[in-house]
Structure 1
Amino acid sequence: MKLNNGRQLGMILVIIAALGAAGSAAVAVGASPSQLPGFRWASSAPLISPPANAGPDFYGVKDPSVVYHDGKYHVFMTTATGKGWGLAYTSFKEWKDAPRVPIVGLENSPMGPGYRAAPQVFYFAPQKLWYLIYQGGDPLYSTSRDISDPTSWTAPAPFFKTVPEVVKQANGQPAWLDFWNICDERNCYLFFTGDNGNFYRAETPLAQFPNGFHNTTRVMQGKRDDIFEASNTYRIAGTKSYLTLIEAISPKGRYFRAWKSDGLAGEWEPPTPDAMNIFADSDNVRFDGRAWSEGVSHGEMIRSTSDQTLTIDPCKPLRFLYQGLDMAKGKSYEYIQLPYRLGLITATGSNPVSRMCKK
């Protein structure tokens, strides 16, 4: 079509813009799930890193768990050092302060030194106690009455007296890690993975927690790289739905997949029609400046509550604290030496969780 003057061109551009706006509104209101947008994210720079004065044997910080309580964010993490794996703590009022606050190891508490990794922290309201769940080979927990005191955590205690048969490998050794507890009105559920394509669940009545875990069941099974590790599960406020995230592996790095369910003991299904129901990966995370992280690895949502229900608010922008791998080009690393740092991704635009908002 030939345009005779600038006025015609301007009218056409206005019409195109109007059609685009109308199309966007149609997608937002009445589109099929395959037409609705999935998750999109914007990442911060690294926020929590090994202290500058810690020396070359402090390799990385990993596996964050975070709650907001009493005006502060409280972050627990795995530390990777020349001495092995341990747990540490930091706190701050605002995320902009995170790079400057000290990181304190928990080995000087009654928890003691030794192999500790992959923490999860929450407040168990029925007992008025903070719980820190972690792996020390088997699933362990410690408790505290003061989350801000890193010396207050009790000695490790096990969840299971014996290893459930379903998690034993052919050689008799268990394959279980990255333990995660969440409770509803009646029961508490301990979810975990096995680095082998299996996703498990055990349960106990709310009144018996942390004792009595039983009925350990394989919830999902797939390829090793598709259901790998670092599961985390949340209640979505104002709904009857729950969200589970599980870390997977691709040629581009680690990433997270998402599933939803109407009950913690129910079946899990993808919240989007994407082939791999992607939550966060190297393709849907935008960096302002250098893309410092290879993929999105072990992390946790910023919750709207600190209690055992692990609730997230779909009416507020989702935020996810994750471990990012900031490797130097051409350098090789032992696994414990991988330079993991903690960063924050914030959801941008509509996504399967935000569309559950009832406001």
Structure 2
Amino acid sequence: MRFFKITLLLASATGALSSCPLPATYNWTSTGILAEPKNGIVALRDPTHVMYKGKHLVYATTLGYDRTWGTVVFDPFSDWSQMGSVNQTTLTPYAIAPSLFFFRPKGIWVMAYQWSRTPFSYKTSNDPTDLNGWSSEQVLFTGTITNSATGPMHPALIGDDKSMYLFFCADNGSLYRASMPIGNFPGSFGATSTVVIKDVTRLVFEAVQVYKIAQDKYLLIVEAIGTQGRFFRSFTATSLDGTWTPQASTEANPFAGRLNNNATWTKDVSQGELIRSNPDQTMTIDPCNLQFFYQGSLPDHPEFNLIPYRFVNGRSKEHNMSEGAHIGVAASNSPTHQHSQPQGHVNMKFAMMLSVLGLAAATPINNPTTGTDNTANEGKVFQPEMFYLFTHVAFDTRPVHSAIHLENFFNDTQIEQAGVFRNIPAEATSCTLMWAQAQRRNRIFISKGDGLTHVRRLSGWPEGEVNLNSIVPFDTIGQLGSPEFTFWDTANGARNHIVGSFPCSTELYFKIELSNVDLESLLYFDQDEQNGLYVHYTI
């Protein structure tokens, strides 16, 4: 994906934030790509931005072609047009999905991030441009989410006069909040959180951000998965511990998405930040000059997890202005106020981590196909043996078959599956479970309801009959990935998607199930040499 900047300029007679209400309908104009990643990096993701000493400072997540995560920091720049030419320095150790702000009560900079010793961690510094000046890692949040394959993701911190709040998602349809007295910050929020918004998984997915827009009004945005790509929904509240009311919260009327911006090269408006008018913990934005710095995606890479994301800057105008809101770098030519906000946003590459499984047309399964890529040291094993697991008839055993077939109904999971890949070369290294889909005319693929799944790696395989009862003793290793099949059944073109990496062995045993038991759902894929789950390896 790429980074873009979007700006929304609203007519106003005064400079007060409250003089510009949020529009009921947003329209955005996006910039082009603002920056490219350095060598070896396929995607720039999860940007965080602050103004520091009059210049733009951007931290971002990176994903390499070798599928390793990292963090990059852009040298400060004066204008968004310069972002593509400044140095990009790797931060060591990395901080995934960073969030940067100035904590004014104690006069220090704070960087929060995910996926370290605890779900969320933080570091402090007196100078965010000194990459060697960050403190040692400290615990920010220790809680776990039982119905989530990813756990807590994308920490969003914000404070009022009395408290600091932590908002986050978990790729499971719920949005969570924790809090502490502001005098205790920086510190740990502990392990307890409260669900403040709940919906189906694809509509409350990830990338939450929360902002102050007036004396007693707050704006929350969260990323969703739509039928035409990623988009953002918005909610408002009168206090950070209050109830969030939907504002522009549908795919037809989004806060920002494919349907209300001019960035025709990307179908996704994904992870990003609104440009703040104040870098401190209040996360204050100017509703008279809304600008959105986000990631968009280039045309899909054949391997789904290596989609090149870029940064974009968007600008928005209210509907009563001459043009309407925009996603983009271009500044509005009709605002009443002149602001020192950036006029464009960096374009960076990003890689989506959504995983998806399975696909079309059945073929014999007794002798899985081993295909070799153009490079001599890579190969693929297709067509796993698949077995039904009936959750309410644990001893029911059915013959081996070729398709992926999962069902939820009556508020419970009804049909799960176990599978095994055989004939993985003994000398294989760097093994990854993936799934492929051929052209639409060459596949049989049905996804109804919520297609988010969980794939768990099994420690072994039954010697006799394969059923739920015989598989349970081997379900001890844990999650391999969470492939998302929703909407992919109607997608055109051939694609490949990553599920997760695993220690190489001559056989891979796994279990797959639908995630959302509260929604009646069906997933069916025929599998052959072009479609379905496969193991990718190198030698």
> After TM superposition, is the score higher than 0.5?
yes
Aligned 8 A contact 2:235 2:249 in 1: no
Secondary structure, aligned partner of 1:303: coil
Q: Which residue of 2 aligns with 1:268?
A: 244
Mapped partners of 1:281, 1:250: distance in 2? 9
Is residue 2:224 matched to residue 1:255?
no
Q: Which residue of 1 aligns with 2:3?
A: none
Q: Which residue of 2 aligns with 1:95?
A: 80
More helix by share: 1
Q: Which residue of 1 aligns with 2:153?
A: 177
Q: Which amino acid aligns with 2:281?
A: Q
Mapped partners of 1:262, 1:136: distance in 2? 31
Cα offset, 1:292, TM superposition? 2.3
Secondary structure, aligned partner of 2:193: strand
1:135 to 105, 110, 114: 114
Shift of the 276–216 alpha-carbon distance from structure 1 to 2, 3 Å rule, reads farther
Q: Which residue of 2 aligns with 1:41?
A: 28
Is residue 2:292 matched to residue 1:312?
no
Is residue 2:272 matched to residue 1:299?
yes
Cα offset, 1:121, TM superposition? 0.3
Q: Which deviates the most, 268-277 or 192-201?
A: 268-277
Shift of the 273–188 alpha-carbon distance from structure 1 to 2, 3 Å rule, reads closer
Secondary structure, aligned partner of 1:318: strand
Is residue 2:104 matched to residue 1:120?
no
1:340 to 305, 309, 313: 309
Q: Which residue of 2 aligns with 1:225?
A: 202
Query: Could you give the per-residue CA deviations for residues 88-126 of structure 1, whole angstroms, max 9, x where no partner exists?
Result: 11121111111111111111xxxx25xx31111000011
Q: Which amino acid aligns with 1:347?
A: S
Is residue 2:49 matched to residue 1:62?
no
Q: Which residue of 2 aligns with 1:11?
A: none
2:293 to 315, 321, 344: 321
Shift of the 275–169 alpha-carbon distance from structure 1 to 2, 3 Å rule, reads closer
Aligned 8 A contact 2:109 2:127 in 1: yes
Secondary structure, aligned partner of 1:179: strand
Shift of the 37–127 alpha-carbon distance from structure 1 to 2, 3 Å rule, reads closer
Q: Which deviates the most, 298-307 or 147-156?
A: 147-156
Mapped partners of 1:203, 1:273: distance in 2? 25
Q: Which amino acid aligns with 2:57?
A: H
The equivalences for 1:65-84 within 5 A come to 65-81=48-64, 82=66, 84=68
Q: Which residue of 2 aligns with 1:86?
A: 70
Shift of the 45–79 alpha-carbon distance from structure 1 to 2, 3 Å rule, reads same
Secondary structure, aligned partner of 1:97: helix
Q: Which amino acid aligns with 1:131?
A: V
Q: Which amino acid aligns with 1:312?
A: I
Aligned 8 A contact 1:78 1:88 in 2: yes
Cα offset, 1:190, TM superposition? 0.4
The equivalences for 1:147-166 within 5 A come to 147-160=128-141, 162-164=142-144
Cα offset, 1:210, TM superposition? 2.2
TM-score (normalised: structure 1): 0.77
Query: Could you give the per-residue CA deviations for residues 208-250 of structure 1, whole angstroms, max 9, x where no partner exists?
Result: 012252551011111000000000000003x310000000001
> How many residues are aligned here?
296
Mapped partners of 1:277, 1:263: distance in 2? 24
Q: Which deviates the most, 144-153 or 194-203?
A: 144-153
The equivalences for 1:189-268 within 5 A come to 189-214=165-190, 215-237=192-214, 239-268=215-244
Mapped partners of 2:248, 2:210: distance in 1? 17
Any gaps of 5 or more consecutive residues in structure 2? 1-22, 326-336, 338-539
Shift of the 58–212 alpha-carbon distance from structure 1 to 2, 3 Å rule, reads closer
Query: Could you give the per-residue CA deviations for residues 322-358 of structure 1, whole angstroms, max 9, x where no partner exists?
Result: 0111125xx41241x220110101102348xx9xxxx
Cα offset, 1:84, TM superposition? 1.0
Mapped partners of 2:147, 2:246: distance in 1? 28
Computed over aligned residues only, the root mean square deviation of the Cα atoms, in angstroms, reads: 2.2
Any gaps of 5 or more consecutive residues in structure 1? 1-35
Secondary structure, aligned partner of 1:96: helix
Query: Could you give the per-residue CA deviations for residues 185-204 of structure 1, whole angstroms, max 9, x where no partner exists?
Result: 00000000010101000000
Q: Which amino acid aligns with 2:107?
A: K
TM-score (normalised: structure 2): 0.52
Aligned 8 A contact 1:105 1:150 in 2: no
Mapped partners of 1:225, 1:211: distance in 2? 32
